[in-house]
Chains A and B, each alone.
Chain A
Amino acid sequence: MSELPLSATADAALQAAPATKARGYWATVGRRITRDKVSMVCALVLLLIFLSAILAPWLGLEDPYKGSMIRRLRHIGTTGYPLGTDELGRDMLARLVYGGRLSLVIGILPVILAFCIGTSLGLVAGYVGGKLNTAIMRTIDVFYAFPSVLLAIAISGALGAGIINSIVSLTVVFVPQITRVAESVTTGVRNMDFVEAARASGAGPFTIMRVHILGNVLGAIFVYATSLISVSMILAAGLSFLGLGTKPPEPEWGLMLNTLRTAIYVNPWVAALPGAMIFAVSICFNLLSDGLRSAMDIRN
């Protein structure tokens, strides 16, 4: 073994220890998740779908709005139309790629909005406590009395069809769920010694919430929010599928699935394509969220 005296190795170990310890929590989580093959594959698939949606106009695709009555419902693999054409003769590949733009926005935006609103509400309810907590949490309970699909459809059904209404209704569905999680983690943190120390040192409630509590609860709320994206994608496309979201001729996966429903007897597999896109995005978000959760659970 090495010639070094015992004290020297001990010194080296002492010096090495802070170096590994110095890596922050999030850096460790990041390293753990990049080692998870499933999460990385999902991240790659999502990246591809996002990039193609963003870069759609520069990819040399057909015009997703231009139809032609003489080339309706071509099969997958037709020359010039690798994924066939839809019921109005529009290129499916172009519509699926362009469709990602709206589908991803209406699916993800409600979760982002609900994350902001729900975190704020939960933080205030959990930190302030008392009557305010009761008021916020009992109001939230009312929304829990509705199954989420029913609530989304009730609100967007009452507001009428439209992209904004669909985003609003899904946000309303997710705010209570995120608020509940945020409230419960905040309540868990607020009586800890470091919060007490901050209060003793004269920090105001706003500073304590922003600096001391938010930093400690954001991770848990964030992971929970990512697990909602999959549901949100399915529901947003579902609203469009019912005719409550996007309006034709916009390319959007849920709406495309709806308009292609009548084509299942003519060209079934082309009709099923938009749903496969929703499925792919939704399963990738779910797996990525699971990966993130276990990467953040450092104890294991």
Chain B
Amino acid sequence: MLAYIARRIVYVVPIVISVALVCFLLVHITPGDPLVAVLPADASQELAAQLRAAYGFDRPLPVQFGLWLLRALHGDLGNSIATGRPVLAEVMRAVGNTVTLAIAAAIIGFTMGILLGLIAGYFRETWIDKVATSFAIAGVSVPHYWLGMVLVIIFSVQLNWLPAVGAGPNGSNSWAWDWAHLKYLVLPAITTSVIPMGIVTRTVRALTGDILSQDFVEALRAKGLHERGVFRHVIKNAAPTALAVMGLQLGYMLGGSILIETVFSWPGSGFLLNSAIFQRDLPLLQGTILILALFFVFLNLLVDIAQAAIDPRIKRG
């Protein structure tokens, strides 16, 4: 097991460096001068050159990348051009809110997905299966930002039950576990949960169906095992793949939250990314994307390790 973990960690190193390179290069495919946001329109040539040197934009690209990577390893992702505050602190504060949202959505989406998938797979080709599958298809096909709007229309505008935007009363940005804050989490979490719900349903349904049609299930039933026992075998066999899919989905929720956070003005990393893009705050853009991508890479690593821990076939491979 330890050898497997070591092998997976070694494999992650080049990925992390390449991810950093992509994030670094993003700024350099940007048309226009990265200093546009800070330079006054009537800035003199000297001032521009001075600032360029201050940000290090005057050095050759590989040198810039090396220096940037070295600083990043020390936790220094530069300062936001718009606010002047350190990028890392800004991103980490926002990521906390995104994690809250993603976990709430994961609890809803994964529970629903597993239940619907198991039921649909068990009662394959019946009306129950059709209903569950339709739910799943709708879940993966719905533009979630639009679903968020529709939920706001129903529950905020029409019924006035839940708040439409924000993450807490009086524009509060810090999360707390009380009903006043929880109310703000309901709609964004439901909206975020529909895609993972659909994907987990489809995965679990397919897995359940496949496993139930295998010979060993026949053998279990033939020796007189009750259905609950058969079900336990199904779950055990479906778990590694289902876990991998759910891990990936959690990563997508963390990294792809920008649309939903924009709809609900949820002060997370996606919201931060949105403002970084439109204020052309390139260090912040770069830093946010880097941190979110690293989260994704490490989540994948964790999933691989967890998968190997429950499925002994994997680490032998």
Contacts and interface: CB of A to CB of B under 8 A. Distances in A.
Contacts of B252: 147-149
B116 interface: no
B251 interface: yes
Nearest to A234: B143
Contacts of B145: 238, 241, 257, 275
A141 interface: yes
Contacts of B254: 147
Contacts of B143: 233-234, 237-238, 275, 278-279, 282
B292 interface: yes
B259 A238 contact: yes
A145 interface: yes
Interface string A257-275: 1000100110011011011
A142 interface: yes
A64 interface: no
A146 B255 contact: yes
A143 B15 CA distance: 9
A275 B137 contact: no
Contact of B141 (A150, A160, A264, A279): A279
A165 B30 CA distance: 11
Interface residues of A, number: 45
Given A153-B277, A279-B143, A158 B150 contact: no
B256 interface: yes
A244 interface: yes
A60 B261 CA distance: 39
A239 to B, nearest CB: 9
A285 B22 CA distance: 32
B141 A145 contact: no
A157 B22 contact: no
Interface stretch (B45-53, B79-87, B152-160, B227-235): B152-160
Contact of B285 (A148, A149, A158, A275): A158
Contacts of B23: 154
Contacts of B263: 261
Interface in A65-93: none
Nearest to B133: A290
Interface string B120-147: 0000000000000000011011111111
A147 B289 contact: no
A269 B146 CA distance: 12
B256 A150 contact: yes
Nearest to A149: B256
- The main secondary structure of chain A at its interface with chain B is helix
A159 interface: yes
Contacts of B147: 275
A279 B274 CA distance: 24
A112 interface: no
B258 A145 contact: no
Given A149-B259, A158-B27, A264 B152 contact: yes
A84 B300 CA distance: 47
Interface string B143-185: 1111101101100011000000000000000000000000000
Contact of B137 (A143, A157, A160, A287): A287
Contacts of B60: none
A195 interface: no
B26 interface: yes
A261 B157 CA distance: 12
Interface in A157-191: 157-160
Given A154-B26, A157-B285, A286 B137 contact: yes
Given A149-B258, A159-B31, A286-B137, 4 more contacts: A145-B15, A148-B256, A238-B145, A265-B157
Interface of A: 138, 141-143, 145-150, 153-155, 157-160, 230, 233-234, 237-238, 241-244, 257, 261, 264-265, 268-269, 271-272, 274-276, 278-279, 282-283, 285-287, 290
Interface of B: 14-15, 18-19, 22-23, 26-27, 29-31, 137-138, 140-147, 149-150, 152-153, 157-158, 251-252, 254-256, 258-259, 262-263, 273-274, 276-278, 285, 289, 292-293, 296-297, 300
19 contacts: A141-B15, A147-B296, A149-B252, A149-B256, A150-B293, A157-B273, A157-B276, A159-B31, A160-B31, A238-B143, A238-B259, A242-B258, A242-B274, A257-B146, A264-B149, A264-B153, A269-B153, A286-B137, A286-B140
